[in-house]
A and B are shown apart, each in its own frame.
Chain A
């Protein structure tokens, strides 16, 4: 049923740190690489080497310029499914293909039931769902449901591919329904926010805002380096004379 399940306590999701994200696209690439062979495979690419390249991605990294009275800064912004608590993408689905799991809150699509009406993508304010024109069904982030419970992987690899790939640890995975979890504490400590809270979708994923500007400049305690090879000519002779 596309009616929302009565939610248990567990709410698996991501916490994304906009302060440390460097926009390297590693999360997007790792996501594409894992998921094109994963639960929602394939992540079709259309005309990948041509002039009208298009394809399905679950994670897209934008870059913004945020200008305030404190000055401007570049903010890299990864955007993916937020696994909302009240996901309209699920309730609008006419076939029951879209569903939210009662056990952990992950929002998934049953590809065998999807008729490709695209209404769920209209109902999602965040652009988390992308239509696969080749297969004719909608696709979306699975929170790497085929990794996080995968006994064939080592314990430390049982996290979404985007989290495992992030070189700056800007992505965190955990249970946001448990106030004592590391991710919940991180959100509390850094003042994590919901995206578009006014629409009332209650996203599970949280974004940590960039830290406040500081006036401190970096101090360099090491001495400046000397040239290894002595210079020739008149200046070299002056240098040698003065050095003696």
Chain B
């Protein structure tokens, strides 16, 4: 599958944004995080900014973005429509929570309820994003039990590492949150390794024989219907060299998982300004690594239409 930057950025940014929003909603509402003006302003600004930037970016790959409002109508059958509805609906409690925290300096009472609803909305939205990919049968690497949990784990992971960077910046860091973000990063690493292992050993029932209905023997593409790449090949026939794939997997592991865990571990032992700097670096490394991970998620996915072209 062609890794369009708008979609790679969209899923990575909204994943982190919804993760951060859910954690702020729950921990803020439960008074674990103090209702400080600047903390709320920057934290909610970052969460909602990442979500809004991601959603705007996703409209960038539409052929007719001016009709995007129509995408809210088919929630009964379409995961993409459900994602649209859930993402917009989540802005309501998230906005109320933000107003309560930033303008009224309180995170209890109705603001806590709004925070909880925003967290639920965030989780639902991330689920719908994951299901868009998990429900596509022609792409075996996505149509697996690994896809939906991956979106949820990576959202929680990037959200917690961002929240840790934010709290460390305000000298409010806690060992609990540090430990949680390290554990989530290790969980994400393990899940990614398991996914790659599963995909590499995947035995796909669909092949050139079933695609053409020609039984037995070998089916070799002799001649394409066209001389140049068409939409199908540009969009779904994207191929990545095995050696590049191996190198990019290494880069993903270093940036998204190994480096953040090391930086967060060092943060445990360091005082305020250093701990804050390392926490922010961990978040930057992880988000960059997740962009590579998401790029690979697309680049390594093989659509059945490529069988017709002998790819």
Task: Name A's B-contacting residues (CB within 8 A).
Answer: 1-4, 18, 25, 28, 51-57, 60-69, 74-75, 77, 79, 88, 90-97, 113-119, 121-127, 130-133, 135-138, 193-201, 207, 209-210
- Shortest distance in angstroms between A63's beta carbon and chain B's nearest beta carbon? 4
Closest chain A residue to B71, Cβ basis: A94
- Which residue from B74, B226, B303 sits with its C-beta under 8 Å from A96? B74
Cβ A119 vs Cβ B80 within 8 A: yes
Closest chain B residue to A207, Cβ basis: B213
Given A65-B222, A116-B62, A137-B64, does the pair A95, B71 have CB atoms closer than 8 Å?
A: yes
- Which residue from B72, B219, B229 sits with its C-beta under 8 Å from A64? B219
How long is the Cα–Cα vector from A207 to B213 in the complex, in angstroms? 7
Cβ A124 vs Cβ B80 within 8 A: no
Q: A2-B78, A95-B67, A196-B206 are in contact. List 10 more A-B contacts (CB 8 A).
A: A18-B214, A64-B212, A115-B64, A118-B235, A122-B235, A195-B213, A196-B304, A197-B210, A201-B137, A209-B214
Mark out the residues of chain B between 1 and 31 whose CB falls within 8 Å of any chain A CB in the assembled complex.
1
7 contacts between A and B (CB under 8 A): A1-B74, A91-B77, A113-B67, A123-B136, A130-B232, A131-B231, A199-B206
For A2, A55, A196, A198, the residue with the greatest tally of chain B CB atoms inside 10 Å of its CB is A196
Cβ B71 vs Cβ A65 within 8 A: no
Q: A196 — which chain B residues lie within 8 A by C-beta?
A: 206, 210-211, 304
Mark out the residues of chain B between 216 and 245 whose CB falls within 8 Å of any chain A CB in the assembled complex.
216-232, 235-236
How long is the Cα–Cα vector from A207 to B225 in the complex, in angstroms? 18
Cβ B80 vs Cβ A64 within 8 A: no
Question: Does B68 interact with chain A (Cβ within 8 Å)?
Answer: yes
Mark out the residues of chain B between 138 and 184 whose CB falls within 8 Å of any chain A CB in the assembled complex.
138-139
Question: Does B97 interact with chain A (Cβ within 8 Å)?
Answer: no
Cβ B138 vs Cβ A125 within 8 A: yes
Given A79-B308, A116-B64, does the pair A56, B135 have CB atoms closer than 8 Å?
A: no
Closest chain B residue to A61, Cβ basis: B225
- Shortest distance in angstroms between A47's beta carbon and chain B's nearest beta carbon? 9
Cβ B303 vs Cβ A66 within 8 A: no
Cβ A94 vs Cβ B73 within 8 A: yes
- Shortest distance in angstroms between A108's beta carbon and chain B's nearest beta carbon? 15
- Which residue from B63, B137, B215 sits with its C-beta under 8 Å from A136? B63
Given A94-B78, A115-B67, A115-B70, does the pair A125, B304 have CB atoms closer than 8 Å?
A: yes
Top 10 A-B residue pairs of the complex, sorted by shortest distance between their CB atoms:
A116-B63, A136-B63, A68-B217, A127-B305, A94-B81, A60-B225, A125-B138, A95-B70, A94-B71, A63-B223
Q: A25 — which chain B residues lie within 8 A by C-beta?
A: 225
Q: A113 — which chain B residues lie within 8 A by C-beta?
A: 67, 70
Q: A115 — which chain B residues lie within 8 A by C-beta?
A: 62-65, 67-68, 70-71
Question: Does B132 interact with chain A (Cβ within 8 Å)?
Answer: yes
Question: Does B76 interact with chain A (Cβ within 8 Å)?
Answer: yes
